[in-house]
Amino acid sequence: MSTDCLFCRIVEGSVPSTIVHETDSVLAFRDIDPQADTHILVIPKEHFPDAASMAAADPKLAGEVLAAAGEVAKIDGVDASGYRLVFNTGADANQTVFHAHCHVLGGRNLQWPPG
């Protein structure tokens, strides 16, 4: 837990969120500024600054984040139509919250390449 981390505060419940799915190790909640009909963030409850550091420290947890991303895609009904998983990492990717998170985006045709 990092007291100055927004997503750690969401995990502890001091910042409200719309929770979609939860396990012992992972939390999924709706993005406050959705970029598609489905825009859910899947995070490890433990603090890691980005996805690569999470995977290096705890590969099982990284797998649980991916499995939860698949679950929330099913919950929102985009598993058949398709969806995109994004882990913005660092400045060039415009990462703004430095607690590892997987964006689950779906419900519309997503452009490629991304902007």
Instruction: Give the contacts of 16 (CB within 8 A, at least 6 positions apart).
Output: 10
Measured from the CB atom, the residue of 7 and 83 that comes closer to Zn ion is 7
Query: Is the distance from CB of 70 to CB of 79 less than 8 angstroms?
Result: yes
Residue 96 binds what, of ligand 5GP, Zn ion, none (CB under 5 to 8 Å, by partner type)? Answer: ligand 5GP
Question: Based on CB atoms, which residue is closest to ligand 5GP, 94 or 109?
Answer: 94
Interaction of residue 15 with Zn ion, rule CB under 5 A: no
Site for Zn ion in 80-109 (CB under 5 A): 99
Which helix (H) or strand (E) segment holds residue 39: the answer is strand 38-44
Nearer to Zn ion, 83 or 87 (CB): 87
Q: Structure tokens of 77?
A: 């009904």
Q: Which of 21, 39, 99, 101 is catalytic?
A: 101
Q: Which residues bind ligand 5GP (CB under 6 A)?
A: 6, 15, 17, 29-33, 41, 88, 94-97
The type of residue at 97 is V
Rounded to whole angstroms, how far apart are CA atoms 69 and 102? 7
Catalytic residues: 101
